[in-house]
Amino acid sequence: MDVLLSLYGGILIALEPINLGLAIVGVIVGLFVGAMPGLGSVNGVAILLPFTFIIQSFTGGATSPMIFLASIYYGAMYGGAISSITLGIPGASTAVATTFDGRPMALAGKAHVALVAAAIASFIGGTFSNVMFTAFAPALASVALSFGDPEVFALMLLAFATFVGLGGDDIPKTIFSICVGLVLATVGFDIISGEPRLIFFDITGFSHGIRFLVLAIGVYGIGEMLWTINTSRYGTTMTKVDVSFASIFEAIKEFRFAWRGTMIGSAMGFFVGILPAAGATPGSLMSYGVAKLTSKDPDKFGKGEINGIAAPEAANNSASTGAMLPMMTLGIPGSPTTAVLLAGMVIWGLQPGPLLFTNQPDFVWPLIGSFYIANVIAVLVNLAFIPVFLWMLRMPFTILSPMIFILSLVGTYAAYLDMFDVSLMVIVGFAAFFLRILDYPVAPAVLAIVLGPIAEPKLRQSLLFSDGDFSIFFTRPIAGPITVVALILIFLPLLKFIKDKLKKPA
Amino acid sequence: MTFTKRAFIGLAGAAAMTGLMVTPAAAFEPTKPIDFIIMAGKGGGADKMARLMQAIVEKEDLSSRPLVPTNKSGGSGAEALIAAKGAADPDHTIMVTLNSFFTTPLRQPGLEIDNMAFAPVGRMAEDTFLLWVHKDSGITTFEGFLETAKADGNAWVMGGTGKNSEDNIITDFLNGNYGLDMKYIPYKGGGAVAKQVAGKQLNSSVNNPSEALGFYESGDMVPLVAFTDERLPMFPDVPTLKEKGGDFSYFMQRAVVGAPGMSDEALAYYTDLFTKVYNSADWQEYKTKKSLMGDFMSGQELKDYWEVQIARHDDILRASGAIK
Amino acid sequence: MRRAELITAIILGILSLALMWKAGEAPSWNPDIARFDNIGMIDGEGPGSGFWPFWLSFAMFGSCVWICINWVRGTSAPSQSEEPFLDEYGQRTLITVGGGLIGFLLVIYVLGFYGAIPLFLIYYMRFLGRHSWFATACVAGGMTVFCFFFFDIAMRIVLPKGVLEPLFIPLYDIFL
């Protein structure tokens, strides 16, 4: 009951005109920043951080600036889906899984359905995790603490397992794609040994590693675009979409088919999101994998299945609230964005940590209240702007395609402020184009470059603990069951294959 | 916007006064956004501090052009050093540094970085290190730690942020001088290390106060000894290693440097700018709250400090076998 | 397509071997460590620094061999296809669009983003897309101005300007 009273008080403060106004502005800013390829919530939050000190000097206290930044964070999470669906380029790593089905839907002239599904799923995911956050924050913090290295590695293994079926039918090419992603993820400095690895030709640009968006924008922005131009022979590939409000209303009705994905995404996103090492990207990828794995019709995924949009979108919003939990209760950021938020809280004079809820209730509750409010604002603003984003799709293809190329290059630069990354991205794009023609699946490589940098250090840290003994992944109470489930999922297709062979007389 | 500016006049005025005492207003004025390189990734201690500096500059309207932060964390700072060295416009390129400013050029002579070529803008603080354990370990003193860690041998696990990082240097010192055989496991960032100790995944850590403060206040983590010359005001009951008979103290420099080739006028401008930042109420408050030490230092004084630090790190890295 | 499949697999196989070689490299500051010393399990520590990249590159090599076997057996789709890898249209696309893209990238290094963006749009819209000069000028100008205000001014992300830098100093005076 205390919790409900505190929440009620918090929501009242969040609804004060200044805070409400900041939340609306923040959501709109976040939406547009998130929709820009290359820019995600982290850019929006980092860039507007200094601005919050001006807000603070007006309002005093940390509540209003934090509400502003949290609204940007929320808005950007919604916005990420927009470029994934309309342009086919993931705006940020969290929205990669949204391209898998969002893009095919847009090409089939159902972009409005996809955008609406993404918005509503995001809203449900966000609300779900807000409720979980409100009710169980302190208890969940201890769950997050009990996740050591072997547990996180087991979880990454599970994430891979859910994606075994993601590749194409060509098994060696799928394996190749996964391995390429994992190898490229090791470029740069190895944190365990402090040694440089795979610094090709001693170019310093490789010392920060091959960044995620270099691969993702290269593959989806350049590679896919060249492939589309090549296969479509200059003809318009996109069916024109209907941007009337009636069609949006129709799209809202179609959401009834997306409940299963939304539920999976909300739950998985939250629990993966609260684990400090994981965050929203693995959360959304795993939700997509699970939604596909448990679907009655898994073949529809990747071809424009509405649940394939709902699951990752519900998950990335759910995870973004989830990631606030270790940030606020443990002072440990689960993602780059929460790292910047944490920096902000520290600068405003707060001490995130186990005592934040007891010592600073007048900060915590209005903030939680603002999550609820920002979420409602975000879904309304997003739905209102959908016609604007759809309008982009009505541009002639010979205008849209150079725009996508330009945004790919500018976006990569904006993300990392390094021309080396831009050049590398273009090279990756050409490579992806050639491999695409030869049926090499590219999604596994993109997945691998997200999970690889988490999985490898966790594997090695775990083995340092156990003196090199692999049994550590099976004997620990949380890691054990996860590892077993992951291994079963990985080897299930193999077992099935053998069984089929045995049944069939030679 | 005029109102906000007026609101700051008091603060900015006070800061400007102190700034004036150091250098008279220089002839140099930046004409374009200033490239503000951060020698570490987003969210770490150096990044937080750099963003606070940027925020103070913005809030008090100290610079006519914005500071644009760029994180370059690759290769323990090698990427940042090379970027600063090759800056097209050294008058608009400054960098926030930590101790990898000394250790990385020592370990990788191939980079051909000369620390002394960088312009000494200003040292903003020195960060401190303490030894932490979980309260459930029952250890409350440094002696108790030595006893338990010695008994556990290789099973005692110390966390840190990577080979030859600051905490690794301290761990090596403890292992070498107290007959310990602690296992050292690197993580990505001091915050992650503190979390592992709080979650009882690790036995001990060497963390900055800012990284462990949350868990200290909640009582989960206990500081045993400070690697400083004098006791820290925030932890008056925690002895220094020197009191315990160890002749060792270690700090992390938090300094702003200009790209090699920066003109004297530009250097004077940035020194003036960061003097104002240093004297701002926000910076002073942050310094107190996070238990930072060290006064502002610039020009030749800062260069002398670098000489000493480079010689010291050379000794340390030679002793640990990281360089030959 | 059939020939391209085999050639690509062979090239990727060679690249995998190069990665394996590179993964076994010793750090530059310690030449005493022999190549491939780091790819195994270190006693009591688990995998060395080269373990993960080396064995994954090995798996890449293995899958390239597998792709070649499939090619010989003719089981994969591209190895049966009689279509050319890139037909005449495809080659032309690659030269005009892909070449334009590389040109765009190179021009950025010289003229910066704000010089390259309008040139690329003029090239693409006017010469590939055959849009009117008026439409081309509107989009090229609009996109450039939008990017400047969105990135340089609003987001404080300063895009490289190359030799055009001096032209922007008065703009900074006004807007920053």
pLDDT tier, C30 (very low <50, low <70, confident <90, very high otherwise): low
Q: Nearest chain B Cα to A333, which residue?
A: B43
- Tell me the average pLDDT across B196-210: 90
β-strand pairing of B183-186 with B157-160? parallel
- Which of B177, B323, B322, B321 is closest to B248 using CA atoms? B177
> Tell me, what's the pLDDT at C165?
87
* Residue B91 C-alpha from the chain's centroid: 24
Percentage of chain A exceeding pLDDT 90: 21
Inform me whether the pLDDT recorded for A394 exceeds 60: yes
Mean pLDDT value across residues A132-144: 82
- Taking an 8 Å cut-off on Cβ atoms, the answer to whether B210 and A346 are in contact is yes
End-to-end CA distance of chain A: 68
Tokens of B70: 């760029």
A347, B210 contact by CB (below 8 A): no
Among partner residues A33, A401, A464, which is closest to C46 by beta-carbon distance?
A464
- The predicted structure's pLDDT at residue A240: 61
Indicate the SS3 state at residue A299: helix
Mean pLDDT of chain A: 84
pLDDT at residue C129 is higher than 80: yes
Do residues A487 and A156 touch, judged by C-beta distance below 8 A?
Answer: no
* Alpha carbon of A329: minimum distance to chain B alpha carbons (Å): 9
pLDDT digit string (tens) for B102-142?
988 988 887 888 999 999 999 999 999 999 999 999 999 99
Nearest by CB: B78 against A50, A204, A355: A204
pLDDT at residue A345 in the model:
82
The pLDDT tens digits for B42-53 are 766 788 888 889
Mutate to test the interface with A, among C16, C33, C35, C56 (most CBs of A within 10 A): C56
Interface touch A42/B201, C-beta < 8 Å = no
Based on the number of CB atoms within 10 Å of its own CB, is A56 exposed (0-12), middle (13-18) or buried (19 or more)? buried
- Concatenating the DSSP letter of every residue in A138-200 gives HHHHHHHHT--HHHHHHHHHHHHHTTGGGS-S-HHHHHHHHHHHHHHTT-EE-TTT--EE--G
SS3 assignment, position A302: coil
pLDDT for res B21 = 44
> Which whole number is the average pLDDT over A104-118?
88
Taking the C-alpha atoms of residue C41 and residue C48, their distance in angstroms, rounded to an integer, is: 6
Confidence of residue B15 (pLDDT cuts 50, 70, 90): very low
Q: Which of A298-302, A340-344, C69-73 has the highest mean pLDDT?
A: C69-73
Query: Across A7-21, A213-227, B297-311, C80-94, which has the greatest mean pLDDT?
Result: B297-311
Nearest Cα to A223, choosing from A177, A187, A179, A183? A177
Domain limits for position A112: 2-503
| Band (B76; pLDDT cuts 50, 70, 90) | confident
A164, pLDDT greater than 90: no
Confidence of residue B203 (pLDDT cuts 50, 70, 90): very high
- Look at residues B198, B199, B196, B173 and name the one whose alpha carbon lies nearest to residue B186: B196
Place of tokens 């924008």: A217
The 8-class DSSP code of residue C129 comes to: S
Range among A43-47, A469-473, B163-167 with highest mean pLDDT value? A469-473
Task: Please state, in angstroms and rounded to a whole number, the distance separating the CA atoms of residues A251 and A270.
Answer: 26
Q: Contact partners of B by the rule of 3+ C-beta pairs under 8 A? A: A, C
| pLDDT tens digit sequence for A316-352 | 999 988 888 888 887 777 677 887 888 788 777 777 7
Question: Is A494 part of the contact surface with chain C (CB cutoff 8 Å)?
Answer: no
Mean pLDDT of all residues belonging to chain B:
86
Please tell me whether residue A101 adopts helix, strand or coil conformation.
helix
Task: For each of the domains in chain B, give its residue range(s) and CATH number, in order of start.
Answer: 2-127+251-320 (3.40.190.150), 130-226 (3.40.190.10)
What is the percent of chain B with per-residue pLDDT over 70, rounded to a whole number?
Answer: 91
Q: State the Cα angle at B153 between B152 and B159, rounded to 5°.
A: 90
Quick check: B68 and C158 CB within 8 A? yes
* Strand order, beta sheet including B157-160: B183-186, B157-160, B204-207, B130-134, B221-226
Q: Confidence band (pLDDT; 50, 70, 90) for B96? A: very high
**Neighbors of chain C by Cβ distance (3+ pairs < 8 Å):** A, B
Whether the pLDDT of residue C12 is over 70: the answer is yes
ipTM: 0.93
Torsion of CA A40, A41, A47, A50, to 10 degrees: 180
Domain boundaries, chain C: 2-80, 88-175
Residue closest to B259 by CA, chosen among B89, B41, B42, B25: B89
From the list A496, A26, A412, A433, the residue with the least C-alpha distance to A225 is A433
In A306-396, which residue ranges form alpha helices assigned H by DSSP?
307-330, 336-347, 356-359, 361-393
Cβ contacts (< 8 Å) between A464 and chain B: which residues? Answer: 183, 185
Q: What is the pLDDT of residues B274-288, one digit of tens each?
A: 999 999 998 998 898
Spacing of C-alpha A327 from chain mean position: 17
E strand or H helix at C173: helix C165-175
Task: Give the predicted TM-score (pTM) of the model.
Answer: 0.85
| Band of residue B2 on the pLDDT scale cut at 50, 70, 90 | very low
Are A479 and A461 in contact, with CB atoms under 8 Å apart?
no
Looking at residue A200, its amino acid is: F
H-helix or E-strand containing B69? strand B67-71
Helical (H) or strand (E) element with A461: helix A443-465
Tokens of B316: 């340390």
What tokens were used for A108?
């089939």
Number of Cβ pairs < 8 A linking chain A and chain C: 176
Half-sphere exposure of A332 (CA within 13 A, CB side): 31
Question: Sorting pLDDT into bands at 50, 70 and 90, what band is B18?
Answer: very low
The two structure tokens encoding residue C115: 């010089």
Report the distance separating Cα C118 and Cα C141, nearest Å: 7
- The average pLDDT across A159-181 equals 78
Q: Does the pLDDT value for residue A265 go beyond 90?
A: yes
| pLDDT on residue C84 | 81
Structurally, chain A folds into a number of domains equal to: 1
pLDDT tens per residue across span B218-249: 889 999 999 999 999 899 999 999 999 888 89
Does C168 touch chain B if contact means CB atoms closer than 8 Å?
yes
